[in-house]
């Protein structure tokens, strides 16, 4: 069932699995504000029955990042160019960037597990979109790069926190500051990639992981994800308490005991 198909984004749902597909391979799935609005809408349209969301891309590259047209004098038709955006009052500028970020935030909701299937280039905004997901399955030709710093900008599409969480501060700084490529084998070694497979096995590996995720009882998976997401901010004692509370909820639900 198709729920969305516009601005280079397709959302389809089958049973408990939603698939979000980037559908602009001719431009290596370069992103624009319209892409981000469509991704945000995809998150809003997810039925409550969905448990796993797969993010994939058509063509040879996952996403080459922000459409380079944004850096030209002409800009992207129908969108604010960078020069005009920079001249807006602080509140408007902040609101504009916050709006862009919405496309990258919903993937970590506790009621779903999101899986990015990455092939070819995942650069800048493409890298951050892959980082927005909980898990990453990569083809052997996958290449990640954070080019924002090299352009005089910063990664502002919610990618900095998951990057540091996955690879640590020093490695994250080095990746961002140099803008170098992180190839699939290194990505797996440092924790960016959960699984690396030959390119022709990417879809099958993603499907296998999806099936494994669906095998776990939904309530247990939601509680576990919430525990793991909050573990970094909590103290040891706070995490112990959170585990006890979550387990109490699970035991009561399994036993059919009301609150």
Indicate the SS3 state at residue 173: helix
**Using N-to-C axis directions, what is the helix angle for 33-45 and 90-105, rounded to 10°?**
50
Indicate the SS3 state at residue 103: helix
Q: Give me the sheet containing 143-145, strands edge to edge.
A: 121-123, 143-145, 182-183
Torsional class of 8: left (φ above 0), alpha (ψ -120 to 50), beta (otherwise): left
Indicate the SS3 state at residue 55: strand
- Cα–Cα distance measured from residue 208 to residue 192, given in angstroms and rounded to the nearest whole number: 19
Active site residue 148: yes
Q: Which of 183, 182, 181 is nearest to 140 (CA)?
A: 183
- Cα–Cα distance measured from residue 33 to residue 103, given in angstroms and rounded to the nearest whole number: 9
Q: What share of the chain is helix, strand, coil (3-state, %, to 5)?
A: 50, 20, 30
Write down the catalytic residue from 74, 92, 148, 223: 148
Residues classed as catalytic: 148
């Amino acid at each position: 069932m198709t729920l969305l198909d516009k601005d280079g984004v397709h959302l389809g749902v089958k049973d408990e699995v939603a698939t979000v597909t980037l559908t602009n391979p001719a431009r290596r799935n370069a992103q624009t504000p319209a892409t981000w609005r469509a991704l945000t809408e995809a998150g809003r349209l997810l039925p409550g029955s969905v448990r796993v969301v797969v993010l994939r891309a058509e063509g040879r590259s996952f996403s080459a990042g922000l459409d380079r047209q944004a850096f030209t004098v002409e800009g992207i038709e129908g969108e604010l160019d960078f020069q005009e955006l920079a001249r807006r009052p602080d509140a408007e500028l902040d609101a504009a960037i916050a709006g862009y970020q919405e496309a990258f935030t919903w993937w970590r909701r506790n009621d779903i597990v999101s899986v990015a299937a990455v092939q070819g280039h995942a650069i800048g905004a493409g890298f951050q979109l892959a980082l927005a997901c909980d898990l990453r399955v990569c083809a052997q030709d996958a290449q990640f790069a954070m080019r924002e710093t090299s352009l005089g900008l910063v990664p502002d599409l919610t990618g900095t926190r998951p990057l540091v969480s996955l690879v640590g501060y020093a490695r994250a700084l080095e990746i961002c500051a140099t803008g170098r490529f992180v190839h699939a084998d290194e990505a797996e070694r440092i924790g960016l990639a959960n699984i690396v497979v030959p390119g022709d096995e990417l879809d099958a590996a993603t499907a296998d992981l999806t099936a494994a995720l669906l095998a776990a009882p939904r309530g247990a998976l939601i509680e576990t994800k919430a525990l793991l997401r909050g573990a970094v901010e909590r103290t040891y004692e706070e995490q112990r308490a959170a585990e006890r509370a979550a387990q109490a909820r699970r035991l009561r639900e399994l036993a059919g005991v009301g609150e």
